[in-house]
Chain A
């Protein structure tokens, strides 16, 4: 859940319509219309500041909202066994924090997917996930979207994300063997991550 307190405001005199803002927005809230960046419905903006921080003309400012609001998904509306199954498929614990900035846990992202979200952007819009730094939680977000049965299609005109990468569970064995002696603890870390994924499962089963 996120309290959205900021929104992007464009100075149209400074904007040159370069479209960088729309390439970096994690929820597609800003786009160039008639050669000017435009936030057509400011309720869609989740206040991450990517557009403001990458605008080469400093044409976008984040301003405090007069009407702050909350976004989030009520996990209790979804069968928790389905949430857990989806999370386990993506190798995360439902209670694990995925988005360190906003504090969104895996269960909330999973619930968004089970309630109909099919893309990373929709999950971000519904939960606020990946609307802080917009960096660190992209991989588990992509994993969850894919685990929910959705195909991933990066935006060919944007830079929002490009694709999934390797994990502890598909890491090549020959690479492990090559570098194990250099201080990397590949298998031990995988075992640790697996223990995390399973935490709490037995209790729910009871």
Chain B
């Protein structure tokens, strides 16, 4: 065992007050604090990961703000006139990355540079959501964005008033408030998050069919086109004449699984998308492939986000439940272990319609739900993976929440974190634990799992570089030589 690569646990992201989660005071114990837990640093597992700006030493966020301004100054904003209006479009998920501050800083920098370069002061923030309609309202207050945008900041939801958008595939629908300005700026990030849904196809464009879109468009994505055609909904909306007539530029927080790498701002969103594809496949692809090598474990949810969105090493739980398949492989994995299409295609006996449907990751012997939010339909997870929820208050919250009425039908309750972990150890017989607590720069896990990850990482890195990435790019029609240049 290479003990030099094991470190004390990294401080998990703190519990946060929200209408979607229990009172943080009820989160008495974080699993990372428990005996036998260590951390591994991603840059030590994969030494070729690029340097990060954040997390970093004191002043790292200030440096990020300065870098963001520097990159934004390079973008052409000449189309924006002083007497016009601009909507800076944000999405909830950015605020869940690395504590939320980096994304909030990008949003502040965008406003400042638009005013500086164009003289336009009517700059508004429109922050879209997933299924938790108040979520970005909470973030706007938490990060002081309402004051920064001088009261012109608001959360928008997919059930708000819509606007028809004519596209190559017919009429789709956006949220009216997203487009109620002369210009829009797409403020996003390169975090891969839902690879099971978007499959790293046009990931940079996805919010046009999600957090900026009405229910009709989102349902088109998740119910009408199929698991590998779904993200075309985003491209169709983005390429519409209407959206193109308003699109000014994209400004992305470049993040890898280990932290903020930089800021990518460009008038050409597809150029950003190519660079995001590179980050998604190479950097995140290595962590996901490594996670697929875990033979058995207890998965711990311990992060202020809904069940599928808790993070470990930049990978969300919804991807870990599919880590037994290659989610980037468009041909080998036509239907991932978890997507909403997959969930839909289980019959009344709880069996998949198609025999070749891969099961949820059989390496997960038990899930300990120490702390995670409601606000996303999660019963499929507890139905297929033995789940222990800590605390009657948290269980009650799920049991009455409109999207999770059946989550507790399949889960048991432990009074304390200690009892939940003891139960999991006894029942599963494994001491390998992976903790989804958003630890920045690495991941928290048990010593036994750290040992496995350290052993497997070098071969995984080689596999991804030499075999998997060329295949993944070929399937996406992406020229490797272009990406080699981007690398440089």
Contacts and interface: CB of A to CB of B under 8 A. Distances in A.
Interface of A: 2-3, 5-6, 23-24, 47-50, 53-54, 64, 93, 95-98, 100-103, 105, 131-140, 159, 161-168, 171-172, 175, 179, 181-186, 188-190, 192-193, 195-196, 199-200
A186 B169 contact: no
22 contacts: A53-B133, A93-B345, A131-B402, A132-B405, A133-B131, A136-B215, A136-B219, A137-B219, A139-B223, A159-B161, A161-B215, A162-B216, A168-B224, A168-B226, A168-B229, A175-B236, A179-B235, A182-B477, A183-B199, A188-B226, A196-B345, A196-B353
A161 B220 CA distance: 13
Given A183-B201, A192-B227, A53 B157 contact: yes
B35 interface: no
B335 interface: yes
Contacts of B159: 24, 50, 54, 134-135, 159
B160 A159 contact: yes
A98 B232 CA distance: 21
Given A132-B402, A196-B354, A168 B345 contact: no
Interface string B452-482: 0000000000000000000000011100000
A166 B228 contact: no
B215 A101 contact: no
Contact of A101 (B224, B377, B476): B377
A13 to B, nearest CB: 21
B340 interface: yes
Given A103-B406, A162-B162, A196-B353, A96 B219 contact: no
A55 B191 CA distance: 32
B168 interface: yes
B344 interface: yes
Contacts of A179: 232, 235
B12 to A, nearest CB: 28
Interface string B137-170: 0000000000000000000011111101000111
A64 B402 CA distance: 11
Contacts of A165: 169-173, 216-217, 219-220, 224
Contacts of B229: 168, 171, 184-186, 189-190
A168 to B, nearest CB: 5
B343 A97 contact: yes
B369 interface: no
Interface in B346-380: 346-348, 353-354, 377, 379-380
Contact of B402 (A49, A137, A186, A199): A49
Interface size class of B (residues with CB under 8 A): 35 or more
B215 A135 contact: yes
Given A24-B159, A133-B377, A138 B219 contact: yes
Nearest to B175: A159
Given A159-B161, A181-B477, A195-B354, A167 B218 contact: no
Contact of B340 (A50, A136, A192, A193): A136
A189 B450 CA distance: 38
Main secondary structure of the interface of A (DSSP, over half): loop
A6 B158 contact: no
A105 B343 CA distance: 11
Contacts of A181: 477
Given A95-B348, A134-B159, A163-B171, 11 more contacts: A24-B159, A54-B133, A97-B346, A139-B224, A140-B224, A163-B173, A175-B169, A182-B201, A184-B231, A189-B227, A189-B229
B11 interface: no
Given A54-B157, A105-B348, A132-B402, A139 B199 contact: no
Contacts of B216: 138-139, 161-165
A105 B34 CA distance: 42
Nearest to A25: B159
Contact of A188 (B164, B222, B228): B228
Interface string B168-185: 111111000000000000
A183 B170 contact: no
| Most chain B beta carbons < 10 A, residue from A64, A103, A184, A196 | A184
Nearest to B213: A135
B277 to A, nearest CB: 9
A174 B369 CA distance: 47
B225 interface: yes
Contacts of B157: 53-54
B164 A162 contact: yes
B133 A132 contact: no
Nearest to A169: B224
A96 B223 CA distance: 11
